[in-house]
Amino acid sequence: MTEPLVSVVVATRDRPRSLGRLLRSLAGQTLGPDRFEVIVVDDGSSPETAAVLAADVRTAAVRHPRALGPAAARNTGWRRAGAPLVAFTDDDCTPHPGWLEALLAASTAHPGAVVQGITRPDPAELDRRGLLSHTVSIEGLGPQYQTCNIAYPRSLLADLGGFDERFGPGSAGEDTDLAWRAIESGRSTVLASEAVVDHAVESTGVIGSLRLAVRWGTAVRVLGEHPAARVMLHRGLFWNVWHYLMWRSLLALLAPAWLQRIVVTRHLAQLRRRAAERGAGSAAVPFLLVRDALECAAVAGGAVRHRVWVL
């Protein structure tokens, strides 16, 4: 039997429909089916997920009886991998047919490197994109190195001990942490621009959007342990430009009234523009303010917890 060249590892939890779509896209890869294997780790899902996996005879399925988090699920997956290259994607992604061939070609051209691909919002779901939706868009290399589209040499994963499982269920940043540990160990990172996956556009609702905002507090730890990762910050200090504008407006409350008006007016204008870009009107500005305030508080709390200067 031919040994696989690539092991595809997917951590899944309660997304049976999109998981089925992912598995169908993997069955349509241009890389021969005998050259790769698929390992899906069911991280404590409901029975619908098991039914999807049982229907796909090519997929090796592993189940965690209870959710341990994406770091633990991915570790379970890659440790069962039999190929020298491990490609990660997520259960809400759809790889293009040439995805694995492109990752493999880049890895062959750059032995030992971490290979990142391109991720774009699913073009079939762009009409869902709005104020209360979530997707991922990655057109360049790093600095977050998300596992929706990335490949590691299996030997490197073993050397690093895999993902840090202290990032438990509901947390974020375990993929960024792994990549920066690889970089600090001397490994290079390369972009495979032909390795493309489409990321689902998920409707989150108000509560889901707010939950996404507060989960970033756990990811702050990455910046404390990997100072070079601060390149992802806005102006080297702020989580993103919206945090910068929020803290600037709060600081302006200590300034004279005329300066307060200028700063706050500019902030609100930017929020209105942001709402318009997501198909919403000015009535969405209060929601954006609440969301940004919760995210600022979560990041500031994480900064205190992990003793790192970020706002």
pLDDT of amino acid 191: 98
CA 220 to chain CA mean position, Å: 14
pTM for the complete prediction?
Answer: 0.93
pLDDT of amino acid 74: 97
3-state secondary structure of 203: strand
Peptide bond into 70 cis (omega under 30): no
State both tokens at 145: 């190195």
pLDDT of amino acid 171: 78
Q: How far apart are CA 28 and CA 198, in angstroms?
A: 14
Q: How far apart are CA 191 and CA 93, in angstroms?
A: 18
pLDDT of amino acid 168: 79
pLDDT of amino acid 146: 96
Amino acid at position 254, single letter: L
8 Å CB contact between 268 and 286: no
pLDDT of amino acid 177: 96
pLDDT of amino acid 1: 57
Residue 66: left (phi > 0), alpha (psi -120 to 50), or beta?
A: beta
| Strand duo 114-121 + 149-153: pairing | antiparallel
8 Å CB contact between 38 and 4: no
Query: Angle 19-20-23 (CA atoms, 0-180°, nearest 5)?
Result: 85
Q: How far apart are CA 279 and CA 203, in angstroms?
A: 14
pLDDT of amino acid 167: 86
Q: Where are the alpha helices (DSSP H) in 80-217?
A: 99-109, 154-160, 174-184, 205-214
Task: Give the residue from 196, 76, 208, 181 showing the smallest Cα distance to 148.
Answer: 196
pLDDT of amino acid 169: 82
The number of C-alpha atoms within 13 Å of 173 and in the hemisphere containing its C-beta is 22
Q: How far apart are CA 291 and CA 132, in angstroms?
A: 11
3-state secondary structure of 145: coil
pLDDT of amino acid 2: 78
Mean pLDDT per segment of 10 residues, for the chain of length 311 residues? 90 95 96 96 94 90 94 97 97 97 98 98 93 94 96 98 89 93 98 98 93 89 94 95 97 94 96 94 94 96 94 95
